[in-house]
Amino acid sequence: MNDQRHPDIEIYVKNRSLTAIESWLASLGENCTASLTQDADKSTHQYSLTIAGNSIPVFIHERAAGKAWTSVWFQSGQTPWIKDLDCARIAATALETQVRCIAGGWQNGDDPDEWWKVEDQTEELIQWASA
């Protein structure tokens, strides 16, 4: 696996409320400000999160993969994490739930169905075609 910094970070959080995820985001940095909801069904939310002086746009999409999974997308290469798995580890511990993230990246040759499943300090590569 490649240790090159990912240009953005996206994780999928299982069965956690928007409020719980917002609280976790707020704990990560100096400031977390909500913007307007992005869509008519109010399932996509935008935030500006400041970590170490860097303003990072964050999008939360509820029910992104079935009813159980919420996508949290840090739309920046300025996060404290090198790759998605680093963030997934932190989120799984903080939110006390299963978190998934893409195993590789989004480059040619990567398996789009290969994901990391992180839960209870355990990491497992799985095939997940539903995301």
Give the dihedral sign, CA 118/24/48/77.
negative
pLDDT of residue 107: 57
Structure tokens given for 48: 């500006």
The pTM for the full model equals 0.89
pLDDT in 10s for each residue of the chain, 131 residues: 456 888 999 999 999 999 999 999 999 998 888 886 666 667 899 999 999 999 999 999 999 988 999 999 999 999 999 999 999 999 999 999 999 999 976 555 555 689 999 999 999 999 987 54
Closest of 43, 70, 71, 73 to residue 58, by C-alpha: 73
Provide the residue type at 90 as one letter.
I
DSSP summary character for residue 128? -
Given strand 31-37, what is the order of strands in its sheet?
31-37, 44-51, 54-65, 69-74, 9-14, 99-102, 114-119, 122-127
